[in-house]
Amino acid sequence: MKKQQFAVIGLGRFGGALATELMDLGYEVLGIDRDEEVVNDMSELLTHAVVADATDEEVLRSLGIRNFDCGIVAIGNDIQMSILAAILLKDLGVKTVVAKAITTLHGRALEKIGVDRVIFPERDMGIRVAHQLVTPNLLDYIELSKDYSIVEMTVPEQLHGKTLAELNPRARFGCSIVALHKPNGVIVAPTALDHLQKGDIMVIIGANEKIDGFEAEVV
Ligand code: ADP
């Protein structure tokens, strides 16, 4: 299967990190920034890096932008530029357009013009760090909806050696452990007989309030 190709517009802190990570993951990345210095710094790290104004339709056309599977508008601080670049990527036929928003209103504008996925890196990271600060064992979480999440937590000392039957999270807390990362691999859909060991990572799914109850009680 052909590897996806990405175009990253704006190589600031967010766009630069995103572009280099995609390269590390083995994908082809075109980076575009109007700042020559920024482009020079990134040129060795990306498949192509060009100095261009992403609101110039002709330039985007000449770069063959419509052939990219995914275009990411990583311009945040200049909302006008971000919206114009996103409109052009959509109009020029980039399959999937992702854009970074810095405010809720900016995000709404991006959604209105048909951006496929709007991300709020600062807001989301703030929320994530808050959760991690109050729950030291919490490694990560994904919001499935407003009310439901999947969270990753390390198994604390007090659960060491317990089986899932003994912990019984579904009956006691109303949430389920759907996977266990152990040093020698991942157990997907662990059974009642699987043991928890200190340091294993539990992947838990459930309503937020149920997961909160689980965290408060056992982690
Ligand atoms: P971050 O907070 O991730 O650093 P910024 O919004 O500060 O994000 O940086 C965005 C980058 O986008 C900057 O490097 C800037 O030069 C670039 N940029 C802004 N407007 C345009 C544009 N119209 N065309 C191309 N690049 C742009």
Task: Give the pLDDT mean for 196-204.
Answer: 95
Q: Is residue 29 scored above 90 in pLDDT?
A: yes
CATH code where residue 208 lies: 3.30.70.1450
The number of distinct structural domains making up the chain is 2
Closest C-alpha to ligand 1, atom 9:
12
Closest C-alpha to ligand 1, atom 15:
10
Q: Is residue 81 scored above 80 in pLDDT?
A: yes
Task: State the Cα–Cα distance between residues 133 and 98, nearest whole angstrom.
Answer: 29
Question: What distance in angstroms lies between residue 10's CA and the mean position of ligand 1's atoms?
Answer: 4
Question: What distance in angstroms lies between residue 82's CA and the mean position of ligand 1's atoms?
Answer: 9
Both 171 and 89 in a single domain?
no
| Among 85-89, 167-171, 211-215, the least confident range | 211-215
Dihedral Cα 113, 117, 118, 121, nearest 10 deg: -160
Question: What distance in angstroms lies between residue 205's CA and the mean position of ligand 1's atoms?
Answer: 37
Q: Of the residues 75, 77, 79, which should be mutated to test ligand 1's pocket, given the most ligand atoms within 8 Å of the CB?
A: 75
Both 135 and 114 in a single domain?
no
Task: State the Cα–Cα distance between residues 47 and 20, nearest whole angstrom.
Answer: 10
Both 143 and 182 in a single domain?
yes
Domain range for 162 is 124-218
Both 28 and 63 in a single domain?
yes
Looking at 98, 119, 140, the residue that finishes a domain is: 119
Both 39 and 129 in a single domain?
no
| Whole-number pLDDT of residue 7 | 98
Q: Is residue 109 scored above 80 in pLDDT?
A: yes
Which residues, judged by CB distance below 6 Å to any ligand atom, belong to the binding site of ligand 1? Answer: 9-15, 32-35, 38, 53-55, 75-78, 81
Both 36 and 14 in a single domain?
yes
| Whole-number pLDDT of residue 104 | 94
| Whole-number pLDDT of residue 1 | 66
What tens digit of pLDDT does each residue of 11-20 get? Answer: 999 999 999 9
- 5-9, strands of its sheet edge to edge: 48-51, 28-33, 5-9, 70-73, 96-100, 117-119
Looking at 76, 94, 119, the residue that finishes a domain is: 119
- Atom index in ligand 1 nearest the CA of residue 38 equals 14
SS3 166: helix
Q: Where residue 113 falls among pLDDT bands split at 50, 70, 90?
A: very high
The ipTM (two decimal places) reads 0.95
Both 90 and 162 in a single domain?
no
| Whole-number pLDDT of residue 30 | 98
Question: Phi and psi of 63, rounded to 5°?
Answer: -85, 0
CATH code where residue 57 lies: 3.40.50.720
Question: What distance in angstroms lies between residue 143's CA and the mean position of ligand 1's atoms?
Answer: 28
What tens digit of pLDDT does each residue of 141-186 get? Answer: 888 988 999 999 999 999 999 999 999 999 999 999 999 999 999 9
Dihedral Cα 92, 88, 113, 111, nearest 10 deg: 100
Question: What distance in angstroms lies between residue 79's CA and the mean position of ligand 1's atoms?
Answer: 10
Both 109 and 163 in a single domain?
no
Question: What distance in angstroms lies between residue 159's CA and the mean position of ligand 1's atoms?
Answer: 47
Task: Give the pLDDT mean for 34-58.
Answer: 97
